[in-house]
């Protein structure tokens, strides 16, 4: 096997962009393509995401042919557990990548890149000046609150209240004070285990359904946030645990869109009022705001705009040897 990649990060969260070496895949729609890869090529996901070429918190993407008429490019997202429906940190990096590799013709002062991902079409805008791409902003799919104040019994924690909101993927939201945590790197390992426990407990009692597609109806992870700052500060601190105990280094793009919808539903955020969302990593920040109200099925929804910066960190050429007993990749947790 020989696969080449471009490596980027958005606010510290890695993105491995597969450029060459992936076999041809079947499927008319992007969701059908994911199903085909899951059944026939999942070994390549493990090859690239798992050790020794990746790590437990690696994230990757594969460009595929769009099936929406207005899409400039389409991408499938992958991680340690499988595949996701939306990834905001990836969208921010991929928009720069599309401009810099001439997938989309660059225009000053801002270039529109329409990116198709499994949850829908994401209009993305790349600032561009003097031949250089810069900060990126994207507008989410319709984001909405599924349920609020759901009482969940979490092992070793007890009864807590969670909110469930959608921003391209569904997340359970729980405050730090309910869990005895702080949004800081020193609490990251505890947050991983507790966040996963919250996700598992919530899945047992809440049926997560998307009004427009059953393929989008699953709980992707848990976002732990500092509730004390919401009313008095323009800064929201949060950390996201998703997939199989994967900890996002960025503030999480789809999670930020979901959080914006939740804040709006609770009367804590007004239209076009910008907030900053920060992860556990210093200087890892997104800004977000509501650009308009919307509907998703019978749900009141919003279109959230999230912006951030992505950077190139290198190129890779991955191979395997037939005699290598660990050539398929492995995990240690």
Q: 324: Cβ–Cβ under 8 A, 6 or more apart, which residues? A: none
Backbone angles phi and psi of 22, in degrees to 5: -80, 135
The one catalytic residue in 6, 87, 117, 119 is 87
Long-range CB contact pairs, 28-37, < 8 A, 24+:
28/67, 29/67, 30/64, 30/66, 30/67, 30/74, 30/76, 30/116, 30/117, 30/118, 31/118, 31/213, 31/215, 33/64, 33/76, 34/76, 34/83, 34/118, 37/62, 37/76, 37/83
Cα–chain center distance at 283: 18
Asked whether 256 and 286 are in contact (CB, 8 A), the reply is: yes
* 87 classed as catalytic: yes
Are 254 and 143 in contact by the 8 Å Cβ rule? The answer is: no
9: left (phi over 0), alpha (psi -120 to 50) or beta: beta
Cβ atoms 125, 137 nearer than 8 A: yes
So which residues are the catalytic ones?
A: 87
């Amino acid at each position: 096997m020989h696969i080449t990649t471009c490596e980027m990060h958005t606010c510290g969260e890695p993105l491995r962009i597969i450029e060459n070496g992936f076999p041809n895949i079947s499927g008319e729609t992007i969701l059908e393509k994911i199903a085909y890869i899951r059944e026939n090529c999942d070994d390549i996901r493990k090859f690239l995401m798992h050790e020794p070429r990746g790590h437990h918190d690696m994230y990757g993407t594969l460009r595929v042919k769009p099936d929406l008429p207005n899409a400039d490019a389409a991408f499938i997202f992958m991680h340690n557990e499988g595949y996701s429906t939306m990834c905001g940190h990836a969208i921010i990096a991929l928009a720069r990548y599309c401009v810099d590799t001439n997938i989309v013709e660059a225009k000053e002062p801002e270039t529109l890149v329409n990116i198709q991902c499994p949850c829908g079409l994401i209009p993305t805008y790349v600032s561009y000046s003097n031949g250089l791409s810069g900060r990126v902003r994207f507008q989410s799919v319709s984001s909405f609150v599924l349920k609020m104040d759901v009482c969940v019994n979490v092992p070793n924690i007890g009864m807590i209240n969670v909110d469930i909101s959608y921003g391209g993927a569904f997340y359970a939201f729980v405050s730090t004070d309910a869990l005895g945590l702080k949004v800081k790197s020193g609490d990251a390992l505890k947050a991983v285990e507790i966040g996963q426990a919250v996700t598992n407990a919530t899945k047992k009692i809440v049926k997560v359904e998307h009004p427009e597609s059953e393929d989008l109806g699953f709980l992707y992870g848990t976002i732990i946030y500092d509730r004390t700052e919401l009313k008095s500060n323009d800064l929201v601190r949060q950390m996201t645990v998703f997939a199989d105990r994967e900890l996002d280094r960025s503030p999480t793009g789809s999670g930020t869109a979901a959080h914006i919808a939740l804040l709006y539903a609770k009367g804590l955020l007004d239209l076009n009022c910008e907030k900053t969302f920060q992860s556990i990593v210093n200087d890892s920040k997104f800004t977000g705001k509501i650009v308009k109200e919307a509907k998703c099925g019978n749900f009141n929804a919003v279109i959230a705009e999230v912006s951030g910066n992505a950077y190139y960190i290198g190129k890779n050429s991955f191979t395997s040897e037939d005699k290598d007993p660990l050539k398929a990749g492995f995990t240690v947790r």
